[in-house]
Amino acid sequence: MEEVIDDEFQELLKTFKRSSVHLETRDAYGIEVEFPHMAQWAPASN
Q: What is the pLDDT of residue 11?
A: 87
Q: What is the pLDDT of residue 46?
A: 55
Q: What is the pLDDT of residue 18?
A: 77
**What's the CA gap between 38 and 1, in Å, rounded?**
24
Query: What is the radius of gyration, based on Cα positions, of the chain?
Result: 16
* pLDDT tens track for 2-36: 888 888 888 888 887 777 677 677 766 677 888 88
